[in-house]
Structure 1
Amino acid sequence: MANYYCENCGTKASSVSSLTSSSCYRHPNGAGKGKHKLYEGSEKSQYTCKYCGTKSSSISSLTNNSCYRHPNGAGKGKHAPSL
């Protein structure tokens, strides 16, 4: 059975519909201001930020921290996993 993950927070779900029907606490517009966004990459042992190259063992731990190379400016956005 496949797992599906939120690109913003790393929440895991067993189906796309169950993932995308819930609010995301790390949504770019703010907690509870948007739904989970499907991460379209494959499951990996390490995830890399598409802006700065920082690596982490999970999407959740990667997106927990601010990215110094985020397009909105240093400290104005979180790391985002590359595909």
Structure 2
Amino acid sequence: MELRNAKSRLKHVLLRARYAAIGAAVGAAIGAVFSRNAASTGGAIGALVGATVADTRDTACSVLESAKEKEFIPISDDTDDRN
């Protein structure tokens, strides 16, 4: 059980790092069009956005997984008592 939790946590950390790196690269590339300082700022902002997207995506995926596992009460009941 503890190994599964550590594996899940490591997966989350690596996903967040990947998205942060991609965001930093995109932000730096866009900022480089304007100046060296803008490239640095764009990289930092892109990394923050990437990490936030990774957290949001991970949260949304876990919510969807838990929703798939639950049984919902049917909206309409097929056993109507009509005579």
Bigger strand fraction: 1
* Same fold per superposition (TM over 0.5): no
Please say which structure displays the higher CA radius of gyration. 2
TM-score (norm 2): 0.21
TM-score normalised by L of structure 1: 0.21
